[in-house]
Amino acid sequence: TQRAMATLPRVYVSRKVPPQGLDILRKSGQVQIELWDSDDPVPRQELLKKVKGCDGLLCVLTEKIDAELLDAAGPNLKVVSTMSVGFDHLSLDELKKREIRVGYTPEVLTDAVAELTVALLLATSRRLIEATHEAKTGGWGTWRTLWLCGYELANSTVGIFGLGRIGVAIAERLKPFKVKKFIYTDVAPRPELAEAIQAEFVSMDELARQSDFLAVCCALTPTTQGICNKNLFAKMKNTSIFINTSRGGVVNQEDLYAALSSGQIAGAGLDVTTPEPLPTNHPLFTLKNCVILPHIASASYTTRNAMSALAANNLLAGLRGDPMPKELQL
């Protein structure tokens, strides 16, 4: 068996991923695993060293999979499987050039992300974090008529920037709050998705102008990098709430800070920032109308385990030369 072991494909797992995924890899008998057995990211130098000669790599979103890393891995590398739906940390051109197949984890996290987005939206619009702080620190003097007032979803227009599975799932959850109208923008209309939530396709300008709540649900690409900037915020109503659970890179944070501190928009809820973690002395943390979460949208036990299982199954299928359960088309 020692001999058999030595011929099995070698995979590097760059993080102690949730147990379901590790079990699938271990029980497969299909691979030799080397694991970065930690909750924290593997240092870059260590990663560069460890991927050398590997057939497969299972990574998370903190690892940059670029030309340097792929060169360090060398020609054996056939499959990269990321435990994430986002793939902005992967250099797709470089992977394609080397004919490396890529697995990712769409769908399994849609419910968890949509749920958290609704929670963040309500926490921001109804000022929950400010309110608990006031209650705890003596700011709760008496019942006051306009104290800690916010904005309600009933009769509102909700705008979705980038309509995909997650945007639809958010809208489905918001609908029972009596939202009046859903609108969205994207590179092109997406009638099949929009139909389920009766969302109207509008221009980016209209989205900014009409939305009482604007939720960003797009992928980070060169096109969407920094697209939420002062031009967008300037067109929004000063009663509007901006929510981002996609990637920090879609937002120009200086412009967002200016829009929030000047009252150009009413509030922002962010689950993602640039960089991550956002330094604790960052100006956005000084604003009462900005709720910042540490990238937890998919963080339920069920979902993180499902993500790790899917990432493991993608990796194994890719190494066998089979279709992956969820393969990214390069």
Q: Applying CB under 6 A, which residues contact ligand DGY?
A: 61, 84-86, 109, 298
Tokens 């009638």 locate to 191
Task: Give the residue closest to ligand DGY by C-beta.
Answer: 86
Comparing CB distances to ligand DGY, the nearer of 81 and 84 is 84
When the beta carbons of 19 and 53 are compared against ligand DGY, the nearer one is 19
Q: How far is the CB of 84 from ligand DGY (least distance, A)?
A: 3
Shortest Cβ distance from residue 165 to ligand DGY (Å)? 12
Between 32 and 300, name the residue whose CB sits nearer to ligand DGY.
Answer: 300
240/298 with CB nearer ligand DGY:
298
Q: What strand order describes the sheet that includes 56-59?
A: 32-35, 10-13, 56-59, 79-82, 101-103, 327-328
> In terms of CB distance, is 109 or 218 closer to ligand DGY?
109
User: Shortest gap between Cβ of 155 and ligand DGY (angstroms)?
Assistant: 32
Minimum CB–partner distance for residue 141 and ligand DGY (Å): 40
- Regarding beta strands 199-201 and 181-185, do their DSSP bridges make them parallel or antiparallel, or are they unpaired? parallel
Least gap, CB of 104 to ligand DGY (angstroms): 8
Distance separating alpha carbons of residues 80 and 13, to the nearest angstrom: 10
Is the bond preceding 277 in cis, omega lying within 30 degrees of 0?
yes
C-alpha–C-alpha distance, residues 63 and 7, integer Å: 27
- Give the residue ranges of DSSP H helices in the chain: 2-7, 19-28, 44-50, 67-73, 92-97, 110-125, 128-137, 165-174, 191-197, 204-210, 230-235, 253-261, 301-320
Q: List the catalytic residues.
A: 295
Task: Return phi, psi of residue 65, to 5°.
Answer: -105, 90
CB 297 within 8 A of CB 116: yes
Least Å from the CB of residue 248 to ligand DGY:
10
251: its two tokens: 């937002």
Residue with smaller CB distance to ligand DGY, 248 or 283: 248
Give the integer Cα–Cα distance in Å for 202 and 225.
20
Q: Are 268 and 250 in contact (CB under 8 A)?
A: no
